[in-house]
């Protein structure tokens, strides 16, 4: 535990050192966020530096060689896969910056990239967990689903990365919710490991601590009013990391409970699009369930301040975390 806390502090310090360097490079690259025209109430944010996810990604790259070893193959896969998603997000951000529009990789390119990494991870996961063992929250039992664990990991990885990306719409929102998730999934992993043999659990927690320390530093720059956005570089990285850490510790289904606000972002967006298309086909005029999706934008349209929405999402995630922890006691 002491080593984990030290890694947290070291990561914060490394991010603190890297932050001004990253910001300087981003300004030289003219890596500025372009706001979509229909998000009119965010036009004042246009021109804010983006791709700030490097502030919390670089500390992991620097520190992780001191954490991983020959006996931590699963941890290595988690790190490599999450960095793969970060690279994919960077390509998307870079194209947007170069084009001066909020249009990066095409949809099919994103699907191929995300799907390709998810397939490789699913194959490796089946090799490490051939029984398809997974823990059921609240019931507190294991079930073996065999081969079906592969498509479950595939879908969950893509769903989580995109859900975190959708949640990254307000200053500090995705970062704050992810930070709370990291803290509680680490606590759950440690508590869970006391009663069940989880390979590499200590390394998983250390990876979470490194990310959390750097993310806390990033939030100082990303909270309202943000001076830098994480971009897809950061959101795809964070989404993949929490999904990978959860599944490799057999706790993948906690993504639904502990990651409830990420679920809200995705579900609200899916419902909005589906209802609009259905009503347009039926009546010729598309209708909407929310004033705007994802749900945090609906709250904005209702007059909620960004800081209040971030606080609400974080508090709900904390409550969900407490419920998850209590359920294991």
Cα separation, 38 vs 52, in Å, equals 24
Q: Are 233 and 86 in contact (CB under 8 A)?
A: yes
Whether pLDDT at 33 is above 80? no
Whether pLDDT at 70 is above 70? yes
List the domain boundaries for the chain.
2-260
Q: What is the pLDDT of residue 292?
A: 92
* Segment among 1-15, 24-38, 83-97, 140-154 with least mean pLDDT: 24-38
Whether pLDDT at 37 is above 60? no
Q: Are 177 and 170 in contact (CB under 8 A)?
A: no
Q: What is the pLDDT of residue 105?
A: 80
Percent of residues, the chain, with pLDDT higher than 70: 93
Segment 250-278, tens digit of pLDDT: 999 999 999 999 999 999 999 999 999 99
Cα separation, 251 vs 135, in Å, equals 6
Segment 173-215, tens digit of pLDDT: 999 999 999 999 999 998 877 666 677 888 999 999 999 999 9
Q: Of 46-50, 189-193, 243-247, where does the model show the most confidence?
A: 243-247
**116-133 average pLDDT score:** 93
Cα separation, 119 vs 197, in Å, equals 26
Please spell the DSSP secondary structure of 4-56, one letter per residue: HHHHHHHHHHHHHHHHHHHHHHHHHTT-BPPPPTT-GGGGGGTT-B--TTHHH
Within 10 Å of residue 195's Cβ, how many Cβ atoms? 9
Q: What is the pLDDT of residue 42?
A: 61
């Amino acid at each position: 535990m002491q080593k984990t806390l030290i890694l947290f502090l070291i990561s914060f310090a490394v991010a603190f050192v890297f932050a001004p360097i990253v910001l300087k490079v981003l300004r030289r690259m003219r890596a500025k966020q372009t706001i979509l025209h229909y998000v009119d109430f965010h036009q004042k944010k246009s021109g804010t530096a983006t791709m700030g996810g490097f502030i919390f990604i670089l500390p992991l790259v620097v520190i992780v060689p001191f954490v991983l070893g020959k006996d931590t193959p699963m941890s290595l896969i988690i790190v490599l896969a999450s960095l793969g998603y970060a690279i994919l997000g960077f390509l998307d951000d870079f194209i947007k910056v170069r084009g001066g529009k909020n249009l990066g990789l095409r949809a099919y390119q994103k699907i191929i990239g995300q799907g390709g990494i998810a397939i490789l991870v699913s194959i490796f996961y089946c090799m490490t967990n051939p029984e398809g063992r997974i823990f059921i929250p609240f019931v507190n039992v294991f079930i073996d689903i065999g081969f079906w664990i592969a498509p479950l990991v595939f879908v969950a990885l893509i769903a989580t990365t995109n859900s975190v990306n959708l949640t990254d719409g307000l200053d500090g929102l995705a970062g704050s919710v992810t930070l709370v998730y990291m803290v509680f999934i680490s606590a759950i992993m440690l508590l869970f490991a006391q009663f069940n043999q989880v390979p590499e659990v200590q390394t998983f927690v250390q990876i979470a601590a490194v990310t959390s320390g750097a993310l806390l530093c990033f939030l100082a720059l990303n909270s309202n009013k943000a001076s830098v956005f994480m971009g897809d570089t950061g959101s795809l990285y964070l989404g993949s990391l929490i999904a990978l850490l959860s599944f490799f510790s057999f706790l993948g289904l906690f993504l639904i409970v502990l990651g409830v606000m990420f679920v809200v972002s995705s579900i609200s967006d899916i419902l909005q699009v589906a209802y609009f298309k259905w009503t347009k086909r039926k009546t010729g005029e598309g209708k909407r369930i929310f004033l705007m999706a994802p749900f945090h934008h609906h709250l904005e349209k209702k007059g909620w301040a960004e800081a209040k929405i971030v606080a609400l999402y974080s508090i709900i995630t904390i409550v969900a975390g407490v419920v998850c922890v209590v359920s294991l006691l």
